[in-house]
């Protein structure tokens, strides 16, 4: 009994009080409802995967962050994203699922990152992907951001900008400048917003891209203007390679259809600086920023990959996906106090409060209310009335219903509106009507 262990959690893990958890869950639920509205199907894969699956790609920063399981001689680890499990799932069940396969997945992933404010080692990802069998039309690249746009609309934060580019196009531009190691160049320019132009030039120099080439490349991708002007700027280049031509055609089509899918032009930005550092993207790439809070970084990113599951199957499975880092998004929206208008934190619920000796009448009432689907709580602990009302206050019940001697004699209830402080006698019928 004397050996009390101080209760605590590991650093880098998020844990909320119930009132905040309710807001978090509302955000999660809006995301899920929107995914379902667009006919994405749910999957839920094990958090623990075989090591050979998670390490299939080899190398990489993320893989160093993997949490391994220490149990017997088994080779097990916690997933670090939902994309590798998707690749494994689609390859494993390819004969049982229908292509194009639209799936959503909301689940926790694990990364042993360096500890820093606003970064979490356990976090929810909310992913949508559409996987084709051999081919997948470009319309999908346009529809997926429409889902994201609707989510931000629903949480009253439609002031977002979806930045978009195309990997083939940028590769074509890099090629035209005479740079061969386009992967490394992409990784360097992906850091532009974070580390600034000078440092990118330095990094490009370190991979043998000379100053002239670097300047030329950075001038092209840093172009600022309306989407129309950006397309004019791109088309004014005298580049003729296949990558450039294909990439430009894809970007134009996807941009065009994003607008047709209902995303306003003001919420889209053709932005050649967006490359997505990860090397598996091969076409469309997106990043989403909250206007006025660009320093937070992208809250939703993704893109097109030509072959999802090459480690697990010989089938060619092209796909397009977008991912919201929910835990981080919640943290960020909370920091900028964006939930004030989003969620009504006074639940419309009521507390039934029988006086001592009138518990049975209280239970009778709550049974009837619950039969009508009313969300209600009955307080049956002994104690002073003051204590009971402070419970109602603390838990922010909207209404308190009192049952005691008078009420039973008169055959009614006393209803207190905790927001206005008003108190009135009310019949059971009217009460049920009010709370329903």
Candidate residues 59, 116, 194, 382; the one interacting with a second copy per rule CB under 8 A: 382
Question: Whose Cβ is closer to a second copy: residue 112's or residue 297's?
Answer: 112
Specify the long-range contacts of residues 410-419, CB closer than 8 Å, at least 24 apart: 413/365, 418/392, 418/393, 419/346
164: helix, strand or coil: strand
Q: DSSP character for 186?
A: H
Subset of residues 90 to 149 that bind a second copy, contact rule: CB under 8 A: 91-93, 96-98, 100, 102-103, 108, 110, 112, 122, 132, 135-137, 139-140, 143
Kind of pairing, strands 76-78 and 41-42? unpaired
Question: Whose Cβ is closer to a second copy: residue 377's or residue 428's?
Answer: 377
Q: Compute CA 87 distance to the chain's CA centroid, rounded to the nearest angstrom.
A: 20
Candidate residues 27, 30, 31, 50; the one interacting with a second copy per rule CB under 8 A: 50
Candidate residues 235, 370, 410, 433; the one interacting with a second copy per rule CB under 8 A: 370
Candidate residues 59, 292, 373, 411; the one interacting with a second copy per rule CB under 8 A: 373
Subset of residues 142 to 181 that bind a second copy, contact rule: CB under 8 A: 143, 150
Question: Whose Cβ is closer to a second copy: residue 261's or residue 280's?
Answer: 261
Subset of residues 6 to 25 that bind a second copy, contact rule: CB under 8 A: 6-10, 13-19, 21-22, 24-25
Candidate residues 61, 314, 409, 436; the one interacting with a second copy per rule CB under 8 A: 314
- Span of 74-82, 160-168, 181-189, 286-294 interacting with a second copy by CB under 8 A: 74-82
Does 88 engage in binding with a second copy (CB under 8 A)?
yes
Candidate residues 153, 310, 412, 414; the one interacting with a second copy per rule CB under 8 A: 310
Does 381 engage in binding with a second copy (CB under 8 A)?
yes
Q: Which sign does the torsion angle of CA 105, 106, 112, 117 carry? A: positive
Q: Are 282 and 159 in contact (CB under 8 A)?
A: no
Subset of residues 24 to 43 that bind a second copy, contact rule: CB under 8 A: 24-25, 36-39, 41-43
Task: Give the closest residue to 382 by CA, choosing from 415, 358, 418, 365.
Answer: 358
How many residues of this chain bind a second copy (CB under 8 A)? 98
Does 375 engage in binding with a second copy (CB under 8 A)?
yes
CB of 6 to a second copy, least distance (A): 8
- Span of 70-78, 168-176, 209-217, 407-415 interacting with a second copy by CB under 8 A: 70-78
Does 380 engage in binding with a second copy (CB under 8 A)?
yes
228/220 Cα distance (integer angstroms)? 15
Strand partners, 426: 413
Kind of pairing, strands 413-417 and 284-290? unpaired
Nearest-5° Cα angle at 127, 124 to 131 = 155
- Span of 162-170, 186-194, 361-369, 399-407 interacting with a second copy by CB under 8 A: 361-369
Buried-state track 364-379, b at ≥16 Cβ within 10 A, e below 16: ebbeebeeeebebbbb
Q: Are 110 and 79 in contact (CB under 8 A)?
A: yes
Subset of residues 338 to 357 that bind a second copy, contact rule: CB under 8 A: 349
Sheet of strand 122-131, all strands in order from the earlier edge strand to the far edge: 41-42, 101-110, 122-131, 319-325, 300-305, 284-290, 160-166, 268-270
Question: Whose Cβ is closer to a second copy: residue 205's or residue 376's?
Answer: 376
CB of 402 to a second copy, least distance (A): 17
Candidate residues 395, 408, 418, 434; the one interacting with a second copy per rule CB under 8 A: 395
Question: Whose Cβ is closer to a second copy: residue 233's or residue 315's?
Answer: 315
Question: 292 Cβ partners below 8 Å, 6+ apart?
Answer: 159
Distances (CA, A) of 229 to 218, 248, 269, 338, 435: 17, 14, 11, 33, 56
Subset of residues 235 to 264 that bind a second copy, contact rule: CB under 8 A: 257, 260-262
CB of 262 to a second copy, least distance (A): 5
Question: Whose Cβ is closer to a second copy: residue 39's or residue 409's?
Answer: 39
Buried-state track 214-238, b at ≥16 Cβ within 10 A, e below 16: bebbbebbeeeeebeebbeebeeee
């Amino acid at each position: 009994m004397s050996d009390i262990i101080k209760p605590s959690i590991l650093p880098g893990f998020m844990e909320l009080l119930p009132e905040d958890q309710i807001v978090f869950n509302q955000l999660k639920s809006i995301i899920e409802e929107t995914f379902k509205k667009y006919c994405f199907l749910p999957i839920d894969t094990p958090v623990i995967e075989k090591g050979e699956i998670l390490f299939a790609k080899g190398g990489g920063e993320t893989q160093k962050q993997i949490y391994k399981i220490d149990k017997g001689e088994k080779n097990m680890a916690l997933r670090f994203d939902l994309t590798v499990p998707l690749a494994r799932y689609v390859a494993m069940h390819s004969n049982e699922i229908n292509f194009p396969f639209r799936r959503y997945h909301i689940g926790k992933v694990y990364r042993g990152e360096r500890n820093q404010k606003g970064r979490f080692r356990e976090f929810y990802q909310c992913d949508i992907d559409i996987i084709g069998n051999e081919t997948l039309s470009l319309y999908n690249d346009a529809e997926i951001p429409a889902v994201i746009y609707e989510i931000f609309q629903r949480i009253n934060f439609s002031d977002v900008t979806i930045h978009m580019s195309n990997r083939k196009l940028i590769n074509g531009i890099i090629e035209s400048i005479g740079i061969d190691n386009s992967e490394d160049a992409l990784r360097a320019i992906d850091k532009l917003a974070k580390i600034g132009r000078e440092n990118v030039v330095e990094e490009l120099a370190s991979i043998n891209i000379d100053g002239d080439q670097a300047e030329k490349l950075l001038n092209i991708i840093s172009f600022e203007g309306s989407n129309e002007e950006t397309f004019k700027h791109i088309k004014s280049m005298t580049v003729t390679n296949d990558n450039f031509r294909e990439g430009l055609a894809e970007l134009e089509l996807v941009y065009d259809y994003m607008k047709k899918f209902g995303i306003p032009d003001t919420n889209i930005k053709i932005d050649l600086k967006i490359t997505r550092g990860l090397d598996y993207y091969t076409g469309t790439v997106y990043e989403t920023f909250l206007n006025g809070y660009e320093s937070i970084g992208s809250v939703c990113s993704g893109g097109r990959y030509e072959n999802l599951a090459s480690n697990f199957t010989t089938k060619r499975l092209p796909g397009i996906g977008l991912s919201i880092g929910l835990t981080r998004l919640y943290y960020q929206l909370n920091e900028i106090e964006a939930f004030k208008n989003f969620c009504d934190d006074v639940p419309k619920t009521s507390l039934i409060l029988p006086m001592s000796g009138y518990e049975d009448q209280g239970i009778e009432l709550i049974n009837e209310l619950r039969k009508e689907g009313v969300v209600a709580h009955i307080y049956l602990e002994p104690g002073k009335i003051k204590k009971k009302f402070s419970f109602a206050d603390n838990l922010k019940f909207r209404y308190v219903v009192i049952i005691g001697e008078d009420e039973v004699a008169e055959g009614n209830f006393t209803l207190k509106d905790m927001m206005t402080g008003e108190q009135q006698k009310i019949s059971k019928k009217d009460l049920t009507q009010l709370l329903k």
